[in-house]
Amino acid sequence: MNSPAWVYLLGLTGMAVYGLRILIQWYLSEKSHAVESPGIYWVLSSIGAVILYIYGWLRKDFSIIFGESVGYYIYMWNIGIMGLYKKVPRIVFIVQALFPVVILALIVKDIPTFTQTFLKNKDVPPLLLAYGVLGQFTYEIRSVYQLVYSYKRKKSVLPLGHWVLAIIGSSMIISYGIIRHDWVLAIGQFSIFFSIRNLMLSVAALKRDRPDDATS
């Protein structure tokens, strides 16, 4: 399905926000020689998710909407545990929390139309849609893993498994975007290179910590 140029521009904006978050995260990680989880990473994640929610809706692509839904509230949890919501008006939190609910309400309002438009989109055959959803799920399930890992430690952490899932998911999304002729999705996953670098930093950190574990 061909979309107006402004729709693709919106998608690129969302991907640029996502790209900026990992650029900052990567830079801070390189400085400290360890994987960092800065607050700005999660703030930009939330902004990027909102933009891509809208992009996915305009592109009639259920896989994008599904993918953004998986990690959305986890981004909010990380922002909350860092105490960042205390620095903004309460309305910001309320609007952010209600956004996916509004999307869900639009879906429930006319399920037959949603099914016909998103799940039976002639431009996205069922098998391709299933692959796209699986790719988004693999990519976003890293957020669930990150949440469980961080919750146990009572702080926001980006563990090694997060980056493994990110690399696998990114690879699937890139191939999906190419098949779907959605160059925004394909190009937007350039962050896979930073995920690989973060994986390397995580492995290096584990190797550094191993001697300490042995002597403790």
Neighbouring C-beta atoms of residue 32, cutoff 10 Å:
9
Domain ranges of the chain: 5-215
Q: What is the DSSP letter of 216?
A: -
Predicted TM-score (pTM) of this structure: 0.84
pLDDT band at 213 (very low <50, low <70, confident <90, very high): very low
pLDDT at 216 (0 to 100): 36
Contact status, residue 57 vs residue 103, Cβ threshold 8 Å? yes
Q: Residue 148 is inside which H or E element, if any?
A: helix 126-153
HSE-up of residue 192 (Cα within 13 Å, Cβ side): 17
Joined tokens for residue 11: 């998608």
- Cα(186)–Cα(197) distance, integer angstroms: 19
The C-alpha atoms of residue 111 and residue 10 are separated, in whole angstroms, by: 26
CA distances from 148 to 77, 78, 152, 171 (A): 11, 11, 6, 24
* Residues 109-151: tens digit of each pLDDT: 888 888 888 888 887 888 999 999 999 999 999 999 999 999 9
User: pLDDT for 57-108, tens place per residue?
Assistant: 998 889 999 999 999 999 999 999 999 999 999 999 999 999 999 988 988 8
Separation CA 182–CA 3 (nearest Å):
10
pLDDT at 211: 59
Q: Are 166 and 136 in contact (CB under 8 A)?
A: no
- CA angle in degrees (0–180, nearest 5) for 169-174-177: 120
